[in-house]
Structure 1
Amino acid sequence: MPMEEDICLDAAGLSTQTPSGSQIECATPNRELPYLILCDAERRKEYLSLCVPLYQAAIKGDWKVAKDVIDKYPGIVRVAITRKWETALHIAAAAKRTAFVKELVERMNEEDLALKNKDDNTAICFAAASGIVEIAMIMVEKNKNLPMIQDLALKILKEDRSLAYARDTNGETALHVLARKPSTIANKSYLGIWKRSINSCFEWIYHKDLMQTLAHQLVEKLWEHVLQLQDWEISKLIKTPSKLLFDAAELGNVEFLIILIRAYPDLIWKVDQNNRSLFHSAVLYRQEAIFNLIYEIGAIKDLIAAYKDKNNNDNNNILHLAGNLAPLSRRQIVSGAALQMQRELLWFQAVEKIVPPSYIKMKNSKNQTPKELFAEEHKKLLKGEKWMKSTATSCMLVATLIATVVFAAVITVPGGENNNTENDFLISLPTRLMFGISTLFISIATMVLAYTGAIFLIHDHKYVWVPILIVFLACATVTLFAWQHFHLWADTIRSTYWSRFLFRPFKHRLYN
């Protein structure tokens, strides 16, 4: 019998010579994956003595046996050892053999991990199917490009369309999971030429954009297959175990909702168990990207905005929902009670513009108008007015003292207590705060500049390091002040001037 070392392994970098020296011709499948094949009946024992032990070792996770084979034939790690063209890595990943996979991957090249079987599945696809995250991570650490093989989900879906509405142990479909991932989905199903050329210079950005684009395609395909069901089946799918439309609205997953509504416009009329529409949820959870879609549905918005919330029989209209205090996670988008109050006022005004006039003074079951509810819910945030005024006053006072300008009267911020406190948060108070911080910084900077200049003029140049040290410490003081107050200053500018564009859709996205 021929020696094992002379076994015929095509496309594996192994010997294809028989003991007598004759060459055996082995046909290789037209694939990127090398393939071990039985060339003739006489070689079967040789095939079985090498591949079967490796296969069994991968199944059982027996690295000792596999190591003996791989040490003799290193190239076998990239050879298909089954009729479906799976490598040992495919088999071990499917068998959930984490330790075996780790050892095997160390002996493979990066490109070996991207090899596909007869169904175009890579080993990481098997890892995903096994549910063992650690196995997938081992492969990703070896080949950073593996996560980019995200079209696997699309290919699997193409093979089995029933997966579009299949449910996991929690009763959720793939759409339920994607509905809760707002940062995963891109706003287009393709990468433009310009974006591809720019992103090619920044690989990590390109990978992220590609992932989001593929996620967009996946949602489109999943929804396309779901729409083949009967209406009652579609309704059941989007309602159980949770209402995926309202999960997406609560988390601001606007791209997900746009994909679904474009293909099935009737979704715009859907309400939850409290009779809230998607736009009611957008107002309640302060998701401006979703709320802005209301401007694209024409007169339909007047009908939907008229829906009343039945939660706890409060009988709130959509403007009452805007009067409720926003969830903490949404308030913390901006820093400080004053800027949070400013954003809440912007929301209230935006909703006020779309409701019927009668809704502005309408009372709920607690006999409150929307404005009265707003005032009650935002009592704590209204205290931010005192903080903003005192901060602005202090900044300008210190700036004035530094500049050695003496005022005859006590410095106060005009317009102290008045009946228009809420509206002060929109422009006047933030502007005073920005002016106060800016003047204080300029005053400190100019004072330090004058002080350091005087030091150099009057100091004995015998010890040059002394004035340099003083200048360094003075500059450090200014830098520290700027670092501590820059975020507040920038947040104030962004919240005051950029937020006016929050509720202005720049392009039609729903039905473009």
Structure 2
Amino acid sequence: MASSSSNSHVTLEVGEEHTYTYPYPSNLSATGFTTVKLSGRDEYGMWKTQMLCLFESHGMLGFIDGTLMCPQPISISGKEKVGDHQTHYRLWRRSDALVKGWIFGSLSKPTLGYVLDRLHQQRNANDFSGKDAWDELHTMYAPVGIPPELLVVEDTPQDKDRAKNLDRLYNYTEAGYWNGVEDILRQEKVAVTDKITNNGNTALHAAVGSFRGREFLEKLLEKIPENTQLTNIRNSDGSTLLHVAAISGNNETADILVARDPDMLLAKDKEGQTPLALALSNMHTHTARHLLRHINTLTDDIQKDALFSGTTGDDLLVTVISSKDFVISCIIMSFLYILGMLVYLFFKEGHQIFEDAIGLLAEVSMLIREKNHFSSYHHYYTNPILEASRQNAYEFVDKIMHHFPNAIWSANEDGHNIIQYAVINRSENIYNLLYWMSQHRNICRTIKDSSGNNLLHLAARLAPNNKLNLISGEALQIQRELQWFKEVERFICPLSIIQKNSFNETPQTIFTREHKELVIEGQKWMKSTAESYTITAALIITIVFAAAITVPGGNKQEGGLPVFTNHTAFTIFAISDAISLFSAVTSLLMFLSILTARFAEQDFLFKLPTKLIIGLATLFISTTAMIVAFAATLYLVFGQSNSRILIPIAVLTCLPITSFVTLQFPLVIELMSATYGGSIFGDKQTYYPLY
């Protein structure tokens, strides 16, 4: 074997007859080559053109057009060696990984997540090629092609006549005009099964979608050519007539179609959706019940079971639960009860809904215990309890563990149990289960995952965006992250604090790296907040200081005492003005100290929030006192001879104070609660001792 490598390609000779050249321009970044990030159907054309230019210019086009396929084992003889073929596969896989990297690097974040989900559903783990990714994106975003029946080259009278008849057939069908439809079909120039729309709908699809009455549909069905099964009449999306009826929510149509071809009940479109699934996803629960009754009459138990098992069954029950129809949930449970564990996806959207969900979960749990051996329980509760842990659904975890105590040690594909998963996803209610565990919780003090991460390593990771977004302000977000880190740090063994994982990183190293950007954003938030309030405090100081020098009513000529010295309103003015001045100065000093702070990670835990709390609280006091002082001045000047003026003055005084409390004080309360309020960690009451 001879091989050579450069920055642009690798040539591999396998024996005497096989030579393979794999380009590998690893010094090129696709993000610098492409200017369009694929985020939807509108960008697909431009994105595809740029990517094809990229692949062709670097000799990589074969990885997406099927020319350079994954090497398959060939007969080993003569000078050929097993090692040659292993190298062959390794080099192909390396270049193919580069192609995938280019493709994924040119996608928007939502698009990347969506296509990866679809690829993972269709294939195991990451066992997909660059061509698979390319073809999947084509399926998702390429414009829908016009059916061959409509691609008529209108250069003959026959072609023009056919196109005209297809158009008339569509219009008559939509209008429900049977005489017109019958007249066109009688000429036998077009058939009822011909595609008449851009998305491949036939006249039958159009009739089912618009449904102009039972009689019209049945007459149209009679026009179907002999030996043609309804299940085989599909549009470009792979939808049968029953799929369209399910989307429309038409029970009568569904009954007519099922009576003619029951196989449509189990038919799937190109997305793998059955009519039942489409009825549920479109919130047509009555149609779904109709379909379920028909499904119950099927004699093919194998296909019927397949409909309610695996990923298909999981998705089906998730959809029905989200529709809040627990009657259908119970019906589906009667087909294959193991799917009922997905009820944990329901949360406290309403008291009755929550109670119904808990009741359904209890029923399914008991069914599992009654009809299965204890050694197989984990097949049913593992995914549900992990997802409930991710979503912080303590009540559902509690109920599952009540029936299956060992569920607490359920683990995902990365080897994380529910406690580790709770730390990763910042699910404090699930984490608090540690406080109600027996001595088994000591296992969590030293437990590690496949990458050598202990519990503190996991707490050092950045929280998911959906959890961070629940907290207002980056400073409070980094504070919450520090609170999690400190909490887990108190729980684990002291030696684990400085332990390194497989990547030679300590928990603190991971925390600093993962939260670097958040600390910077927290610093910006703190400074911008402090700067805004500094200006406000400075203005108040200027106003109240000037008011203290030039008192209302002026001073007496003899002695220089204020004219209104003996008035109660003047005393209120003097006290309020002094309070406003001193508190404003204190507030200004606090905000200035924030602007000059070092903004270290640990400062966000107590030091910086405390300064901000003091600054905001004293600013509120200062503003309130200033308004009171101003109101007292108004009364002294204008209310001496008319005491009724005190009423509008009091009302107007309350207006800015109320506005300040409504708009700004919630931030103070949130800061105080997060910094000095009750901890989110601690005991979580349960009805029985945990594992």
TM-score tier by shorter-chain length is 0.5 to 0.7
- TM-score, L = length of structure 1: 0.57
**Residue 488 of structure 1: aligned partner:** 667
Specify whether residues 136 and 470 from structure 1 end up closer, same or farther in structure 2 by C-alpha distance, changes over 3 A only: farther
- TM-score, L = length of structure 2: 0.44
Equivalent of 2:403, from 245, 263, 268?
A: 263
Equivalent of 2:345, from 165, 174, 180?
A: 180
Contact 1:302 1:354 (C-alpha < 8 Å) held by counterparts: no
Contact 2:386 2:410 (C-alpha < 8 Å) held by counterparts: no
Contact 2:410 2:417 (C-alpha < 8 Å) held by counterparts: yes
Equivalences for 1:309-324 in 2 at 5 Å? 309-310=449-450, 314-324=451-461
Equivalent of 1:382, from 519, 534, 538?
A: 519
Work out whether 1:164 is the aligned partner of 2:337.
yes
Contact 1:309 1:316 (C-alpha < 8 Å) held by counterparts: yes
1:340 CA drift (Å): 1.1
Which deviates the most, 464-473 or 324-333? 464-473
Equivalent of 1:133, from 279, 283, 291?
A: 283
Work out whether 1:234 is the aligned partner of 2:377.
yes
**Residue 557 of structure 2: aligned partner:** none
Question: Partners in 1 of 2:509 and 2:538 — Cα distance?
Answer: 36
What letter corresponds to residue 163 of structure 1 in structure 2?
L
Equivalences for 1:12-31 in 2 at 5 Å? none
1:277 CA drift (Å): 0.9
1:421 CA drift (Å): 3.7
1:214 CA drift (Å): 2.1
1:283 CA drift (Å): 0.3
1:224 CA drift (Å): 1.2
1:507 CA drift (Å): 2.2
1:325 CA drift (Å): 1.0
**Residue 593 of structure 2: aligned partner:** 413
What letter corresponds to residue 209 of structure 1 in structure 2?
H
CA deviation string 1:180-235 (max 9, x = no partner) = 23336xxxxxxxxxxxxxxxxxxxxxxx3232112111101111112232356433
- Corresponding pairs, count: 351
Question: Partners in 2 of 1:299 and 1:423 — Cα distance?
Answer: 32
- The unaligned stretches of length 5 or more in structure 1 are 1-59, 65-92, 101-126, 138-146, 166-172, 185-207
Question: Partners in 1 of 2:439 and 2:648 — Cα distance?
Answer: 69
Equivalent of 2:676, from 480, 486, 497?
A: 497
Specify whether residues 284 and 474 from structure 1 end up closer, same or farther in structure 2 by C-alpha distance, changes over 3 A only: same
1:495 CA drift (Å): 1.3
Work out whether 1:429 is the aligned partner of 2:429.
no
1:326 CA drift (Å): 0.7
**Residue 352 of structure 1: aligned partner:** 489
**Residue 637 of structure 2: aligned partner:** 458
Structure 1 counterpart SS, 2:452: coil
**Residue 113 of structure 1: aligned partner:** none
CA deviation string 1:395-429 (max 9, x = no partner) = 66555445434879x944389656x9444333332
Work out whether 1:218 is the aligned partner of 2:396.
no
Contact 1:258 1:510 (C-alpha < 8 Å) held by counterparts: no
What letter corresponds to residue 610 of structure 2 in structure 1?
T
Specify whether residues 494 and 259 from structure 1 end up closer, same or farther in structure 2 by C-alpha distance, changes over 3 A only: same
Specify whether residues 151 and 307 from structure 1 end up closer, same or farther in structure 2 by C-alpha distance, changes over 3 A only: same
Is the radius of gyration larger for structure 1 or structure 2?
A: 2
Specify whether residues 248 and 510 from structure 1 end up closer, same or farther in structure 2 by C-alpha distance, changes over 3 A only: farther
Contact 2:635 2:646 (C-alpha < 8 Å) held by counterparts: yes
Equivalent of 2:506, from 365, 369, 379?
A: 369
Specify whether residues 324 and 403 from structure 1 end up closer, same or farther in structure 2 by C-alpha distance, changes over 3 A only: farther
Contact 2:347 2:354 (C-alpha < 8 Å) held by counterparts: no
Contact 2:627 2:653 (C-alpha < 8 Å) held by counterparts: yes
Question: Partners in 1 of 2:455 and 2:639 — Cα distance?
Answer: 73
Specify whether residues 274 and 232 from structure 1 end up closer, same or farther in structure 2 by C-alpha distance, changes over 3 A only: same
1:162 CA drift (Å): 4.8
- The unaligned stretches of length 5 or more in structure 2 are 1-210, 216-245, 254-275, 288-321, 546-580
Contact 1:302 1:356 (C-alpha < 8 Å) held by counterparts: no
CA deviation string 1:347-388 (max 9, x = no partner) = 111111221222100012332211121122222333425643
Question: Partners in 2 of 1:305 and 1:463 — Cα distance?
Answer: 74
Work out whether 1:341 is the aligned partner of 2:478.
yes
The sequence identity of aligned pairs, in percent, is 27
What letter corresponds to residue 388 of structure 1 in structure 2?
M
CA deviation string 1:129-160 (max 9, x = no partner) = 974625669xxxxxxxxx9x977468658xx7
1:332 CA drift (Å): 2.1
Contact 1:282 1:290 (C-alpha < 8 Å) held by counterparts: yes
